[in-house]
């Protein structure tokens, strides 16, 4: 099963995903490629950091399940390992989600929403992005939320981390056992 986790910057997506994967050994998190530079304090393994040239080469080789350009940088999901029988979690933007859903309409698609634009802006400004980057991310957030809803995502307002994680875990369980709910 493919689990697509979307949500605008500052919604706490990374934290929720890390908890889900830590709590469930049947999940694994795909590591994306990006041409973005590493943020201060960002772990070395958050992404595979590559040049635009390397990324474009990988596109030419059909190396990505999906990829998209977000605020001037490329992000892409390498093809998941076909021999891994765990469920893969993709933490991607809505453009990428649209591509995955086209190939795999049965994927579980969750959209995390911030409790308010103020909370989101505060989180974004606090996390080490250059201020103009943070402002651009805030500006695109509403459009991302609207597009995610249009694509049929299950929307969860992330106003309480434990509750959000529990809700996502329940959705994953339900998706693994269709018909029991």
Name the site residues for ligand 5GP (rule: CB under 6 A): 9, 32, 36, 66-68, 70, 75-77, 91-93, 95-96
Using CB positions, name the residue nearest to ligand 5GP: 96
User: Is the Cβ of residue 32 or residue 164 nearer to ligand 5GP in the bound state?
Assistant: 32
Cβ-based neighbours of 111, under 8 Å, separated by 6 or more? 6, 7, 94, 145, 148, 149, 153, 154, 155, 156
CB of 99 to ligand 5GP, least distance (A): 7
CB of 93 to ligand 5GP, least distance (A): 4
Cβ-based neighbours of 19, under 8 Å, separated by 6 or more? 161, 165
Residue among 119, 140, 121, 118 nearest 129 (CA): 121
User: Is the Cβ of residue 90 or residue 172 nearer to ligand 5GP in the bound state?
Assistant: 90
User: Is the Cβ of residue 146 or residue 176 nearer to ligand 5GP in the bound state?
Assistant: 146
CB of 179 to ligand 5GP, least distance (A): 31
- For residue 143, the tally of other CB atoms under 10 A from its CB is 11
User: Is the Cβ of residue 70 or residue 109 nearer to ligand 5GP in the bound state?
Assistant: 70
User: Is the Cβ of residue 138 or residue 181 nearer to ligand 5GP in the bound state?
Assistant: 138
Residue among 109, 115, 116 nearest 149 (CA): 109
Residue among 56, 77, 83, 84 nearest 5 (CA): 77
CB of 155 to ligand 5GP, least distance (A): 15
Cβ-contact 96, 67 below 8 angstroms: yes
CB of 66 to ligand 5GP, least distance (A): 6
């Amino acid at each position: 099963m493919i689990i697509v986790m979307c949500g605008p910057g500052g919604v706490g997506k990374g934290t929720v995903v890390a908890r889900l994967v830590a709590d469930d050994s049947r999940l694994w998190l795909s590591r994306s490629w990006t041409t973005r530079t590493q943020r201060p304090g960002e772990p070395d393994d958050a992404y595979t950091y590559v040049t635009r040239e390397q990324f474009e080469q990988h596109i030419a080789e059909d190396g990505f399940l999906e990829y998209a350009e977000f605020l001037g940088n490329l992000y892409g999901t390498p093809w998941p390992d076909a021999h891994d029988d765990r469920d893969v979690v993709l933490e991607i933007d809505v453009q990428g989600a649209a591509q995955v859903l086209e190939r795999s309409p049965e994927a579980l698609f969750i959209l995390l929403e911030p409790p308010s634009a103020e909370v989101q802006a505060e989180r974004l400004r606090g996390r080490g992005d250059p201020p103009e980057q943070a402002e651009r991310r805030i500006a695109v957030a509403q459009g991302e939320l609207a597009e995610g809803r249009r694509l049929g995502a299950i929307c969860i307002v992330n106003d309480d981390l434990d509750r959000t994680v529990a809700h996502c875990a329940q959705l994953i369980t339900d998706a693994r056992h269709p018909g029991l709910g």
